[in-house]
Structure 1
Amino acid sequence: MTDHQTLRPAGEDAHTPDRGERRYSTGFGNEHSGEAVPGTLPVGRNSPQRAPHGLYAEQLSGSAFTEPRARNRRSWLYRIRPSAAHPPFARVDNRGLRSAPFEETVPDPNRLRWDPLPEPAAGTDFVDGLWTLGGNGDARQRSGMAIHLYHANASMTDRVFSDSDGELLIVPERGTIELHTEFGPLTAPPGHVALIPRGVRFRVELAGAGARGYVCENYGAPFELPELGPIGANGLANARDFLAPRAAFDDAERPVEVVNKFCGNLWAATYDHSPLDVVAWHGTHVPYLYDLRRFNVMGTISYDHPDPSVFTVLTSPSDTPGLANADFVVFAPRWLVGEDTFRPPYFHRNVMSEYMGLVEGAYDAKASGFLPGGGSLHNMMSAHGPDRETFDRASGADLVPQKVDDGLAFMFETRWPVTLAGQARSAGHLQQGYDTVWQGLERNFRS
């Protein structure tokens, strides 16, 4: 049994007629359920001879039937029309979207940083506004991940998107987005993340004039909460803070373009109805919303800087325990109290590859140049860490308790090198001379 939470979409009051307050079920990995019309969810069975109210029963499997129960993802949907009722799909322009395997460029050991995406052309929606930075693995082999950004200034009108290649972790940076999914709506303002499972259809509406943010496309095992180990039973991202939508449906009898990402390319078909027509559902393969400021940060209360793994929100495990296909890490507001400790992130070379993004404010390892909406890539074993200004300031700081609450940064981390898409290698917003942030770190040692 789950309880419910209410979240009012950003910029709205309680009397907003279109969206109003959102009601959600709580818990991550739960067996959730919902019905938009009472009596439409079958009781005691999944596929009755005649589903209630003339609906069609349909299972959506996000895992193989025989995967272990703890990792088995599936949902039963009770919809106005079955998903099978559609015309053929045809290839459409991929625009700025790319997919693994990434073979336009060779993996690059250099440290790279980008400014935010430039303004899009008028009428650009979420799908057309997707722009791929790079990734690894192979979407057709269900391994690896891709890093995308989006910049949109129009809602998706009579258009629906789904991704057969992987699940989508969406990180809004500017502008609230309304995600209308087969399971119901999610309202995702900046500071929240939304997780759309593989194959789930959704439409993105903008709550304001524009929206910008980041997307991790996870081809591998679905994201799950990390093990807590010696931390114990509580901490980091608590399962009860994840929100699943309540059932809602679109009973539309009009042409709707359905765009599907399949094996790296976009395909589209025009339906004569909306596929967001699920009236009731139950299962574990469901979308989620999470407020990053509810992350229960763990850190030192004595000395030294803990490894950034303590900031992991979600992880996609690989066949090697502890070595993630992809991790999502957040640097949320927290207190720094370590004694005789260099408090910003330390200098580091890592077997994992790290893409950093910034939702708001500043990152405590970079004094300037790292902008909200921008990002940096430090591929495996590339040396990185605080810039000169940050190092000098932190080395001489008075180590009183310090609250870090003026920024919200995150990281997509992966076990394999991130190979750039050609458009990211030649982008006009790729910063030139990023290496100079470490110039001036002079020799202090004298023998």
Structure 2
Amino acid sequence: MSEPATGPRYLTGFDNEHETEALEGALPRGRFSPQRVPYGLYAEQFSSTAFTAPRASNRRTWLYRIRPSVVQGDYAPYPEGSPLLATGPQRTNTPPNMLRWDPLPLPEVDVDLVDSLTTVASCGDALAQQGMGIHLYAANRSMQDRYFYCADGEWLLIPQQGELRLRTECGVLDVAPGFVAVIPRGMKFAVDLPTGPARGYVCENYGAPFVLPERGPVGANGYANDRDFEYPVAHYEDREGDIELLCKFAGHLYRAPIDHSPLDVVAWTGNSAPYRYDLSRFNVIGSVSYDHPDPSILTVLTSPSETEGVANVDFVIFPPRWMVAENTFRPPWFHRNVMNEYMGLIEGVYDAKETGFLPGGGSLHNCMSPHGPEAAVFEKASNATLKPERYVDTLAFMLESRYLIQPTPWALETSLRQRDYCRCWEGLTRHFDPTRP
């Protein structure tokens, strides 16, 4: 995983109060909304939490822009966009089966990221601001004269193939495979494809904004460190024309005409802004004695629910790392879990599933559905001569939620679904012998 090509500069520090200006003196000094803003700009507050949220969790940013956001036309439905885009709750039965899918093929016709969205599953209820939507994208065209925002949730973008350039109201983020990016609920942006066709995943978080998980007894250091999260510097577009603004609102797509770029923010200050994170900077914590720790130690970001310690959404990764535990079954153990898990693979091979789980693909194991390593992996790990081993060719992730994850009708019916997935456990035969301790 390499750094994207030279491009935008970044501000560092998770959830910090950042301030940045594309023109010197564009940020008002001493007050957020002076009677007259420098350069003839408009002051506009962007809030992604309630005004009265506690200071520690309050997120808002002051934008100083060429035109306020109210300068646009009326919205009309956009039914022809993303026909496979869905929002929770689903109105279909959810089977308890363990499910797995092959990756989306790259498109044969021109399509941008928003129009390519295909929903695999969702949980909770977007209108109640609980749960998430899990989408795939496979695009080959940059967004031309069109911009987008999602009012239903913040976006966690997980590229698997091809680099994304995210042009946002706050500036520009370059996001290659091995990086992730988060765009706040309601933030306007456009997606360019500087290296050609792109494929990946989107977690649409309906609930509380992502935060860094508490470290507990681990202490002050480890996991994802605040300083490694990068925010864009101010960069504005001052252009006019026949432009389209797309919006996802209450589960449906809309579009409105606008005669200028909505990315006309010359300066901003606050802590609600898009950011990116290089997954290779994650400081992995693991056992150096015995036993396989819970995967929660690999949590990068968490969206908390009203129950402490039980996540609305956890974003967990399985990156390159050392395995050194002694007298231990090193792959994930077989388990049944009250939580619900969707997994994706960014590159390489996932250690519990060495065949069939492909980069760009996904699997779903819902509440109390049993899962674990395939038969061949179990046999190999049970009989291996244990020595320190580095897992190199791998980068998988998991989206875990307290809410039941419901596959869409498309996900259940598509030819990409591996209907023989359960056969990967067929080789787990009886070994029990009461005469042999």
TM-score range, shorter chain: over 0.9
Q: Output the CA distance in 2 between the equivalents of 1:341 and 1:417.
A: 31
Q: Which amino acid aligns with 1:143?
A: Q
User: What's 2:16 paired with?
Assistant: 30
Distance 1:255 1:376 in 2: 41
- Check the 8 A contact 1:8/1:21 in 2, yes or no: no
Q: Which residue of 2 aligns with 1:52?
A: 38
Structure 1: which 5+ residue stretches go unaligned? Answer: 1-6, 13-19
Paired-residue identity, %: 57
Would you say the 8 A contact 1:96–1:128 is kept in 2?
Answer: no
Question: Per-residue deviation at 1:22?
Answer: 2.0
Instruction: Give the alignment of 1:187-336 within 5 angstroms.
Output: 187-336=174-323
Is the alpha carbon distance of 1:8 and 1:37 closer, same or farther for their aligned partners in structure 2, counting shifts above 3 Å?
Answer: farther
Q: Deviations over 1:116-143 (max 9, x none)?
A: 0123242100001110011111111111
Q: Could you tell me the TM-score, scaled by structure 1's length? A: 0.95
Contact 2:136 2:201 in 1 (8 A): yes
Residue 150 of structure 1: SS of its match in structure 2? strand
The 1:157/1:9 distance shift into structure 2, 3 A limit, reads: farther
- Whether the 8 Å CA contact 2:106–2:199 is kept in 1: the answer is no
Aligned partner (choices 102, 121, 124) of residue 111 of structure 2:
124
**Structure 2: segments with no counterpart, 5+ residues:** none
Partner SS state of residue 260, structure 1? strand
The residue type equivalent to 1:184 in the other structure is G
1:92 aligned to 2:92?
no
Secondary structure of the 1:298 match is coil
Contact 1:118–1:429 at 8 Å: present in 2 too? Answer: no
Q: For the Cα contact (< 8 Å) 1:8–1:22, is it kept in 2?
A: no
CA gap of 1:9–1:250, structure 2 versus 1, over 3 A, is farther
Give the counterpart letter for 1:120 in structure 2: P
Please tell me the root mean square deviation across aligned C-alpha atoms, in Å: 1.1
Q: C-alpha separation between the residues in 2 aligned to 1:8 and 1:297?
A: 19
Instruction: Give CA deviations for 1:141-175 in whole Å, capped at 9, x if unaligned.
Output: 11111100100000001110100000000000000
Equivalent residues in 2 for 1:2-81, closer than 5 Å: 10=4, 12=5, 20-81=6-67
Aligned partner of residue 127 in structure 1, secondary structure: helix
State the SS of the aligned residue for 1:137: strand
Residue 351 of structure 1, CA deviation: 0.5
The amino acid of 1:240's aligned partner reads R
Tell me by how many angstroms 1:332 deviates: 1.1
The aligned residue for residue 163 of structure 2 is 176
AA matched with 1:32:
H
Q: 2:423 aligns with which of 436, 439, 442?
A: 436
Q: Does 1:360 align with 2:331?
A: no
In the TM superposition, structure 1's runs of 4+ consecutive aligned residues that sit over 3 Å from their partners are 7-10
Query: How far apart are the structure 2 equivalents of 1:260 and 1:425?
Result: 27
Q: Within 1, Cα distance between the matches of 2:238 and 2:3?
A: 23
Per-residue CA deviation, residues 243-284 of structure 1 (Å, 9 max, x unaligned), is 000000111111211100000000101100000100000111
Deviation sequence 1:37-95 (CA, Å, 0-9, x none): 11101111100001110000000110111011111010000000000111100000242
Residue 152 of structure 1 aligns to which amino acid in structure 2? A
